[in-house]
Amino acid sequence: MIHDIKVFNPQGELLKVINGQKQMDLHYSAIAKSIAQSNWGIAANKNKKNVICSICKKELEGTANQITCKSTKCLRERVKVRLRYVSSLKGKQILPFTNKIICKECGKTVMKQSARAKYCSKKCANTFTGRINRKKNREIRISIGGAC
Ligand SMILES: [Zn+2]
Ligand SMILES: [Zn+2]
């Protein structure tokens, strides 16, 4: 709290009383305004905008490309929503089975949606990658054994 400022003339007579608090408030709002208009103030406000979190709908000040309120809960939820969206897009895209591929596991010729498919089925893919992993593990074990 700032006390009132009493202004006296040289004769000691009270001329006027200035409301100190009010003057200070005016002073600070003027400073705040001039800072906001300076380059520094503009730069600080440039990327700031009101963002509504797409998950919890909370409104907050954030950057232009911000989607959530950045809480761990909402970020995690956002990833889930995004994944659901991507997989729903994949589900809608029905590609014709026009690519003839030879399964790397069982050698069967099958028609696939993707030309990059390597296996006739998930089962073959798992068997094949499982075999690679086992081989890799063995190699790692051997190299560790050799180093000892
Ligand atoms: Zn949120
Ligand atoms: Zn196969």
Report the pLDDT value the prediction gives residue 43, as an integer from 0 to 100. 61
Residue 148 counted as domain residue: no
What is the pTM (predicted TM-score) of this model?
Answer: 0.31
My answer on whether 40 and 73 are in the same domain is no
| 2 and 35 within one domain | yes
Number of domains in the chain: 3
Residues 29 and 55 in one domain: no
10 occurs within a structural domain: yes
Q: Tell me the C-alpha to C-alpha distance, in Å, between residue 67 and each of 50, 87, 145.
A: 11, 20, 50
Q: Are residues 84 and 125 in the same domain?
A: no
Question: 10 Å Cβ neighbour count for 20?
Answer: 14
46: CA distance to ligand 1 center in Å?
A: 22
Distance 51 CA to ligand 1 centre (A): 10
Q: 117: Cβ–Cβ under 8 A, 6 or more apart, which residues? A: 99, 101
Tell me: do 22 and 9 sit in the same domain.
yes
Return the half-sphere exposure (C-beta side, CA atoms, 13 A cut-off) of residue 86: 6
CA of 106 to the centre of ligand 2 (A): 4
- 23 and 36 housed in the same domain: yes
From the CA of 91, how far away is ligand 2's center (Å)? 23
**Are both 2 and 41 inside the same structural domain?**
yes
Using one digit for the tens of pLDDT, what is the confidence trace for 65-121?
Answer: 888 998 999 999 998 888 888 777 766 666 788 899 999 999 999 999 888 999 999
Nearest 10 degrees: CA dihedral of 62, 65, 71, 73?
A: 150
Q: Indicate if 40 and 52 belong to the same structural domain.
A: no
Q: Is the pLDDT of residue 129 over 70?
A: yes
Residue 3 CA to ligand 2 centre (angstroms): 88
CA R_g for the chain: 35
- Least confident interval from 49-53, 114-118, 138-142: 138-142
| Confidence check: pLDDT of 20 > 80 | no
Residue 48 confidence (pLDDT) above 80: no
Ligand 1 centroid distance, CA of 87 (Å)? 23
Range of the domain at 12: 1-46
**So what's the pLDDT on residue 16?**
84
Pairwise CA distance, residues 139 & 135, whole Å: 6
Alpha carbon of 111 to ligand 2 centroid (Å): 12
